[in-house]
Amino acid sequence: MTTLVPFDEALARYAPVLGIETHIELGTASKMFCGCPTEFGGAPNTHVCPVCLGMPGSLPVVNEKAIEYAIRIGLALNCSIADWCRFARKNYFYPDMPKDFQISQYDEPICFDGYLDVEVEGETYRIGIERAHLEEDTGKSTHVGGATGRIHGASHSLVDYNRAGIPLIEIVTKPIEATGEMAPLVARAYATELRELVRALGASDVRMEEGSMRCDVNVSLMPKDASEWGTRTETKNVNSLRSVERSVRHEIERQAAVLDAGQAVLQETRHFHENTGTTSPGRSKSDAQDYRYFPEPDLVPVAPARAWVEEIRAALPELPAARRVRVKAAWSLSDEELRDVINAGALDLIEETITAGASPAAARKWWMNELSRTATAQGVELSALPVTAGQVARIQALVDAGELNDKLARKVFEGVLAGEGTPDEVVAARGLKVVSDEGELVAIVDKVIADNADAAQKVRDGKVAAAGALVGAVMKASRGQADAARAREIILERLGQS
């Protein structure tokens, strides 16, 4: 059992220093150095060729789109873009790496020296970016027959090279200091902002659960009055935003206990366990591997023309931070409302609904209330609901035109979500139009007045509040399809109170 020091106590004595290395699979159609498809899934070893299987004599060719995406990401991270850089061979033996070396970049990254601003509880933290470099992904091993899915205790292992050679960008932060008790939240905010940024750039689908974005989180502690950093651990392949936060928190609590006991923190990689929120030792880095890097002899250097880099810069889309500022003002949202919209995954949907003609308030109301509730109840993402932004805008247009009230609109949503067709089809099929025929409404009102003589008399006697019960009865008699405001006017008219 690992001894832990409570988080607040640990932070009272120690200052954490973080570093985050993020691997992101680029969304190119083909792999980094060959023409194989990059599609996720597929039967094992069906997206392979002599190049990505590392057959002797096969020759790699650089994927231009991957270079473009890397430059796009680098520019959005305020990095400098190298005039000239090379790929390097990183030599190590691993069964899921068919060549026994990985083509990566070593001392000549394509992007370097940038930053990304992230916000935590109203405060901005500038995270320095050391470098962003290109490399190829490895294949994937599956250890079969053991209880844990790890190699220990397995009867045999299977390897799938479909992922081998998929372009990766590795984004490495500079040391992140002086975050104190905010360290876990800053780490999470950085991963969140980076994911949003790369998604906005269209350079990756950044799905952490599918492994197309994964973080290695470095944490060290030093006594608060010290000037020299402590020994760091590296928690590998953390694959959710929440886990990024939890892994930092756990390492702070664990390392504080080690230091309190007068021991030294071991420099090692660690695994994060989702179920317990804890880390366990991986491989030691004390006998650091010598990767024998050398320039990749099969590839020419990459020298992106300045004009091309500027073309990519000019074509950058609106970035998430700028978008948040714009949306907050345009939709008149508080910080909290904006955060709720983002956390609900509703930003794009609301924006599309507005583009389709709804007002910001109406678009937000449907997505954040009715539809969010449905998504939660069904355990799916908001964007996975079978309703489009255009359909939401259409339903709101029917409300605005007085053809639906909110209650009927909810029934239309119900029908659309149940696959009964477009909003207009559901309105027609379910007979959901507001009773707009004045004569029909008057007839209903007269019948309700006759059936509710006591309430009607109260209204005649001047107790206007009693009209509420009559309006309710009209709504009931019309199966919710009357215009409640108009019904109230008619009731008051008929009873001499208008």
Residues that bind Zn ion (CB under 5 A): 34, 36, 49, 51-52
Which residues are within 8 A (CB) of 151 and not within 5 positions of it... i.e. 6 or more apart?
141, 143, 157
Nearest residue (CB) to Zn ion, 37 versus 480 = 37
Nearest residue (CB) to Zn ion, 49 versus 222 = 49
**CB 13 to Zn ion: min, Å:** 52
CB atoms within 10 A of CB 211: 15
Instruction: Tell me if 402 sits within 8 A of 435, measured CB to CB.
Output: no
**CB 55 to Zn ion: min, Å:** 10
**CB 33 to Zn ion: min, Å:** 8
Amino acid letter, residue 63: N
Nearest residue (CB) to Zn ion, 68 versus 137 = 137
**CB 51 to Zn ion: min, Å:** 5
End-to-end CA distance of the chain: 78
CA 107 to chain centre: 31
User: Which H or E run contains 272?
Assistant: strand 268-273
Instruction: Tell me if 470 sits within 8 A of 455, measured CB to CB.
Output: yes
Nearest residue (CB) to Zn ion, 164 versus 455 = 164
Nearest residue (CB) to Zn ion, 34 versus 441 = 34
Q: Residue 72 and residue 388: Cα distance in Å, rounded? A: 30
**CB 44 to Zn ion: min, Å:** 14
Q: Residue 62 and residue 20: Cα distance in Å, rounded? A: 27
- Cα torsion 35, 208, 216, 66 to 10°: value is 30
E strands, 60-181, are 80-81, 88-91, 101-104, 111-120, 123-136, 140-144, 156-160, 167-173
**CB 96 to Zn ion: min, Å:** 15
Maximum separation of any 2 CA atoms in the chain, in Å: 100
Nearest residue (CB) to Zn ion, 31 versus 188 = 31
Instruction: Tell me if 216 sits within 8 A of 237, measured CB to CB.
Output: yes
Nearest residue (CB) to Zn ion, 52 versus 395 = 52
Nearest residue (CB) to Zn ion, 49 versus 154 = 49
**CB 35 to Zn ion: min, Å:** 7
Closest CA to 166 of 33, 299, 297, 64: 33
58: left (phi over 0), alpha (psi -120 to 50) or beta: beta
**CB 109 to Zn ion: min, Å:** 24
- The two three-digit tokens of residue 53, written as one number: 């299987």
Q: Residue 199 and residue 208: Cα distance in Å, rounded? A: 12
Nearest residue (CB) to Zn ion, 36 versus 103 = 36
Nearest residue (CB) to Zn ion, 47 versus 249 = 47
Q: Residue 73 and residue 55: Cα distance in Å, rounded? A: 32
**CB 58 to Zn ion: min, Å:** 9
- Cα torsion 104, 109, 110, 112 to 10°: value is 140
**CB 297 to Zn ion: min, Å:** 19
